[in-house]
Amino acid sequence: MAYAMILLPLVMAALAFALPSNRWRPWLLPVTSLAHGALVAWALAHPALLTQSSWLVLDPPGRLVLVLVSVLFCASAFYTVDYLRRRAEHPNSVFCVCFLTFLSMMTLVTWSHHLGLMWVAVEATTLVSAPLIYFDRTHNSIEATWKYLLVCSIGIALALMGSFFLAYASLHAGLDSSLTFENLLENAPALSRPWLYAAFVLSLVGYGTKMGLAPVHIWLPDAHSEAPSPVSALLSGALLNCAFLAILRIYHICIATGEGTFTSGPLIGIGLFSMAVAGLFMFCQRDFKRMLAYSSIEHMGILALGLGIGAPALFGTLLHILNSGLTKGVLFLSAGNIYHAYHSKSTDVVRGALRRVPLSGALFLTGFLAITGSPPFGPFISEFSILNAAFGASHYWAAGLFLFFLFLIFIGMGILVLKVVQGHPSEAVQSSSYRDGGLTCVPPLLLMALVLLLGLYIPAPLDTLIRDAVNFLEVTP
């Protein structure tokens, strides 16, 4: 099953490379996404398929992230067809090949059950997504790609050092470890502590760079604002969560040692700091895609905070992976439509989106309400659950700051979003040819419906999926 899921997009990528037609090539993306989605659904329905070999196992948190990746990829793929049609002057073969390979590598991250393999997969996602950010070939996009490649590669190199330290922790204890997560979890109590601590810190900083935690987030605002919108949606909704999955797995090993409390401080600290940075930078923003990038940093901060609070917040944290990822998809895709209607990302130009592109404007506004944690949308439930757990576990300071930053971000983001959607568009803007269409509006609309659904009612299979993951992560020897 794993091979099918990972190889399918690669085969399609080869096909995309071979196909000469610039016009028909993009349709390979939605086809692949539907097939990939079907494979994921089939695998989840048959638990026997979830273990391929000792290296490729889809553990419960991996399942959750894989579902998110597949859904978001599907939405972005349909959207991309229209996006590339409007950019017909650009050759798109490299774009399509990288887009499909990106899916394959993210799938590999979720499946990998080996410390080294996971590292290779995470690094590979950086390399294949760099050309996607560079699609526009402008000065700003080169700068963004350069920062993305260099900063993420350095971060990932540190994560490799962390993985090596973890491997040495097991070697030093005289364990004949195969470095699969299963093996590391079994032997966790015997791991050499100093090496384990150092490994955790390096992995947190390393994978945290990729995940966009402040202060190592510097690549993120540029990359998210310069990349084409469907790519931003995938980077923000899917890729960052894949990096979080890597941190989650290292965290799990630390917890399994039985003395995992040392992880709590750094995670809570870095989480709150990310929220603070996001809140501060949101106030002086005029570029609405950049604002969304800072919102991604905020939500990665919330995930780190939730993980730092520990067991009581796990359910909320895992639910928040889905909620924030899907809402980010809505926001970036609708922001892309607004960008195409105005050919600008600056709020000096973009006014009156509700009049100019009513559906996209409404989606952008609703997405904003959802992401800032307003009821009745999904993120409200998960953020409330994390807050509740923070009070329950008597992290009063963290809970208070969490609330304060949420409030700050609500105001900062609100000012900017209202500027974009309200008012009257200027005359010059009316002439642009973009109108809301099926391919550009249905994907974010469906994602929005999912976010609303998650706020009102969590379907039973999803509930089981999250509870499985919580039980899996709480296992102590």
Environment class of residue 175 by beta-carbon count within 10 Å: exposed (0-12), middle (13-18) or buried (19+)?
middle
**Candidate list 30, 61, 208, 221; residue touching another protein; CB under 8 A:** 221
Stretch that binds another protein, among 87-95, 147-155, 335-343, 394-402 (CB under 8 A): 147-155
Concatenated DSSP letters of 413-444: HHHHHHHHHSS---HHHHTS-----HHHHHHH
**Candidate list 6, 124, 275, 278; residue touching another protein; CB under 8 A:** 124
Q: What are phi and psi of 465, to 5 degrees?
A: -60, -45
**Candidate list 32, 145, 183, 317; residue touching another protein; CB under 8 A:** 145
Least separation in angstroms between residue 327's CB and another protein is 23
Q: Would you count residue 130 as binding another protein (CB under 8 A)?
A: yes
Least separation in angstroms between residue 228's CB and another protein is 17
Please, how many CA atoms are within 13 Å of residue 395, restricted to the half-sphere of its CB?
Answer: 25
**Candidate list 37, 51, 93, 146; residue touching another protein; CB under 8 A:** 146
* DSSP three-state, residue 87: coil
Stretch that binds another protein, among 59-67, 71-79, 154-162, 416-424 (CB under 8 A): 154-162
- Cβ distance to another protein smaller for residue 33 or 177: 177
Strands (E), 125-273: none
Report the C-alpha gap between 448 and 442 in whole angstroms.
10
**Candidate list 19, 35, 157, 439; residue touching another protein; CB under 8 A:** 157
222 to 261, contacts with another protein by CB under 8 A? 222
Concatenated DSSP letters of 11-48: HHHHHHHH---TTTGGGHHHHHHHHHHHHHHHHHH-GG
Cα 2 from chain centroid (whole Å): 21
Least separation in angstroms between residue 105's CB and another protein is 11
Stretch that binds another protein, among 56-64, 194-202, 380-388, 466-474 (CB under 8 A): 194-202
Least separation in angstroms between residue 38's CB and another protein is 29
**Candidate list 15, 179, 311, 439; residue touching another protein; CB under 8 A:** 179
- Cβ distance to another protein smaller for residue 78 or 95: 95
Least separation in angstroms between residue 419's CB and another protein is 19
Report the C-alpha gap between 78 and 441 in whole angstroms.
10
Environment class of residue 361 by beta-carbon count within 10 Å: exposed (0-12), middle (13-18) or buried (19+)?
buried
What residue type is assigned to position 134 of the chain?
Y
How many residues make contact with another protein (CB under 8 A)?
46
**Candidate list 27, 95, 134, 181; residue touching another protein; CB under 8 A:** 134
Place of tokens 């955790």: 200
DSSP state of 235: I
Stretch that binds another protein, among 176-184, 404-412, 442-450, 457-465 (CB under 8 A): 176-184
Beta bridge partners of 114: 180
* DSSP three-state, residue 347: coil
Q: Would you count residue 281 as binding another protein (CB under 8 A)?
A: yes
- Cβ distance to another protein smaller for residue 116 or 266: 116
83 to 122, contacts with another protein by CB under 8 A? 114, 116-117, 119-120
Tokens matching residue 352: 């009156």
- Cβ distance to another protein smaller for residue 168 or 273: 168
Q: Which of 421, 429, 236 is nearest to 340 (CA)?
A: 429
Which sign does the torsion angle of CA 233, 234, 235, 239 carry?
positive
- Give me the residues that bind another protein (CB under 8 A), please: 114, 116-117, 119-120, 123-124, 126-127, 130-131, 134, 137, 139-140, 142-146, 149-150, 153-154, 157, 160-161, 164-165, 167-168, 170-172, 174, 177-179, 192, 194-195, 198, 221-222, 281, 284
